[in-house]
């Protein structure tokens, strides 16, 4: 993730990448953990926690041969992930996807830090 670009960088398995690509999935879920909280939110003493990201870059596998960039419209915490594709009885972050952005234009503007 590049906080300078406000982008959350996520690597996905092919099945989930393809579901997002073809429009079947428009929410990405992550278990609520300190490591995800530090990547998703800004926390400053005396201020309300706010998202540190407004875009998400999905990569298909670690080879990053295929990528997609989306706006994030909302991030919420669900009390349980049982009804999500995680199927866990723990709180989860629900990252709502908006418009798919032009990744080529984003890279030209300095996004992706040369990846």
What's 108's DSSP letter? H
pLDDT of amino acid 90? 97
Helix H segments across the chain?
14-21, 34-40, 103-108
pLDDT in tens, the chain (115 residues): 455 689 999 999 999 999 999 999 999 999 999 999 989 998 777 777 889 999 999 999 998 889 999 999 999 999 999 999 999 999 999 999 999 998 766 776 767 654 4
Q: What CATH class is the domain 7-114?
A: mainly beta
Q: Where are the domains of the chain?
A: 7-114
75 burial via Cβ count (<10 Å: 0-12, 13-18, 19+): buried
């Amino acid at each position: 993730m590049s906080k300078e670009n406000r982008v959350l960088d996520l690597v996905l398995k092919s099945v989930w990448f393809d579901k997002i690509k073809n429009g079947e999935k428009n929410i990405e879920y992550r278990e609520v953990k300190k490591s995800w909280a530090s990547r998703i939110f800004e926390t400053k003493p005396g201020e309300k926690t706010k998202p540190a990201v407004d875009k998400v870059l999905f990569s298909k596998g670690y080879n990053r041969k295929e990528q997609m960039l989306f706006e994030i419209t909302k991030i919420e915490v669900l009390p349980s992930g049982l009804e999500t594709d995680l199927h866990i009885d723990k709180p989860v972050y629900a990252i709502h996807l908006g418009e798919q952005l032009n990744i080529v234009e984003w890279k030209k503007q300095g996004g992706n830090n040369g990846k």
